[in-house]
Structures are given as structure tokens and as C-alpha cells.
Amino acid sequence: MITVENLRVKFGSIEAVSGVTFAVGEGQSFGIVGESGSGKSTVLRALAGLNDDWTGRMTIAGKALAPKRGRDFFRRVQMVFQDPYGSLHPRQTVDRALSEPLLVHGIGDIDRRIRQGLSEVALPSAARFRFPHQLSGGQRQRVAIARALMSEPDVLLLDEPTSALDVSVQAEVLNLLADLQDRRKLTYVMVSHNLAVIAHICPQIGVMQGGEMVEMLSADDLREGRVKHPHTADLRRLSTELEEA
């Protein structure tokens, strides 16, 4: 469904992503882990069309991506960001946030789709006419996910979708993402610094360091400690150390 070959992104003289290659099958999930500055979010932003200054080759559903994307691309590929407070307009109601993608893409039947969208992410219908500040953090992230689903995309790009949430709410959102994938056969690319979260959602994982993908492995290999690169081993040790506590 998604292929990325030899992707390079430069900011001035610094190469933030230097030759990243991976592929994700339809209905599959691919996770990218790494520390801040490793380039993981830059990969996702290039894939999402938020940064058009890159070289390499990227395809989605067999079609090569140009630096500038058409409307159809933005219908099929949607993104969910870390901080729902930053990604929802503070003066717009949930109703307005959810109807915008429908208006942009000329999809009708707005009323029914919004009601269905809210129930799909398990939000009460009363949330429809609320403002973001009247919702809890978990509810706001549900709104952001519902908005991403409005245009019925095939691909969801998830940038640290649960890092700003309480652990109890994180569990709910991760379960929701798993259910949605089952139901809609979505393809996920998820970025996080939390190995346990990535391994929970994504059977295939790429580890990034200094702009390069230093290792690709399965979640099972990661769990069992079958890692090759020292950076992966470091990240794994940090993660398991706390679990043993």
C-alpha cells in the first residue's frame, strides 16, 4: 500500500532524513520509533505532503507521489497529531471541525456522517456542539481521529497519537485505533518514542537514529530481544527496565 524508497529530507545544510526505505502492506501497521531529532516525524510529514522538499520515491496504492499532492491524495491519506488541543480550532465546535473535510471533498450527507463519525469513536452525540476546551484530552483526541476518518481514508498517519494522554486514556485510544483498523481495513504508519505503544499496535517496526533507519524488525523480535543494532538494544533496555520495577 505504501512504499518509501531512499527518502531524503534536508533542512538547510542538515540532512534530517538520509535514505529511509520501508514498505507497508494494505491493512497493515508500520511503526517508527526513535528519539527526538531522529527524523521519525520528518518521514511522516514528507509522506503526508506537509513538506514538499524531499528526494527519493514514495508511492501510495501504486501511485508515485509528487511533491505537491492533489485533492484525492488528501482524501485517502489523513493524519492525526500528538496534541489534539493544538490541532483543533479553539473557536470551532466539534460539528464544524467534522463537517469541514466533508465540505472540502464535496461529500454530502453531512448530518448522518457526523452522527456516525461520533458514534464510531464512541463519543456521545452531546459532544457535537461543544468546543474543544469543553472536552477532556481523550475526547479531543477522539474528535481528531473522527475528523481524520470523515473523508473515508485508506491510510492514517499517526504522529505520537497518545503521548499527551493519561495512561488510562491512552489504553482507550489504542483500543479504538485497533478496532477502527479491523473495521475499516485501514493502513497505519505510526510514530512514537514509546516502544511498548508501537509494539502494541504495529507488528513491523523501524528504528531511527540520526536520520537513518538503523534497524527493521518485527514486534515479536523486539519483545524477545532479538535485536541487532545497539541503539535498538538501548531503547529496549530503557523500556523494559521500567516494566520490571
Partner 1 sequence: MMVRIENLTISFPSPQGMSQAVRGVSMNLGAEKLGIVGESGSGKSLTARALLRLLPPAAQVTADRLEFDGIDILKASERDMRAIRGKRAGLILQDPKYSLNPIMTAGSQIAEAWRNQRKGSAREAREAAIDLLAQVQIRDPRRVADSYPHELSGGMGQRVMIAMMLAPDPELLIADEPTSALDASVQAEILRLMEDLVSRRGMGLILISHDLPLVSHFCDRVAVMYAGRVVEELAAQDLVRAQHAYTRGLLDCLPTLSHPKTRLPVMSRDPAWLT
**Which lies closer to partner 1 via its Cβ, residue 199 or residue 216?**
199
**Which lies closer to partner 1 via its Cβ, residue 66 or residue 122?**
122
**Continuous segment of H or E residues that includes residue 192:** strand 187-192
State the DSSP string of 101-139: HHHHTT---HHHHHHHHHHHTT--GGGGG--GGGS-HHH
Chain center to CA of 238: 23
**Which lies closer to partner 1 via its Cβ, residue 67 or residue 203?**
203
**Which lies closer to partner 1 via its Cβ, residue 108 or residue 168?**
168
Q: What are the backbone dihedrals phi and psi of residue 70, each rounded to the nearest 5 degrees, phi first?
A: -85, 180
Q: Smallest distance from the beta carbon of 154 to partner 1, in angstroms? A: 24
Q: Smallest distance from the beta carbon of 172 to partner 1, in angstroms? A: 5
Q: Are 22 and 38 in contact (CB under 8 A)?
A: no
Q: Smallest distance from the beta carbon of 245 to partner 1, in angstroms? A: 4
Q: Are 201 and 29 in contact (CB under 8 A)?
A: yes
Q: Smallest distance from the beta carbon of 199 to partner 1, in angstroms? A: 6
Q: Which residues bind partner 1 (CB under 8 A)?
A: 35-37, 136-137, 166-172, 174-175, 178, 193-197, 199-200, 219, 222-223, 234-236, 238-245
Q: Smallest distance from the beta carbon of 168 to partner 1, in angstroms? A: 5
C-alpha cell of 11?
533542512
**Which lies closer to partner 1 via its Cβ, residue 107 or residue 171?**
171
Q: What is the spatial distance between Cα 216 and Cα 218, in angstroms, rounded to a whole number? A: 7
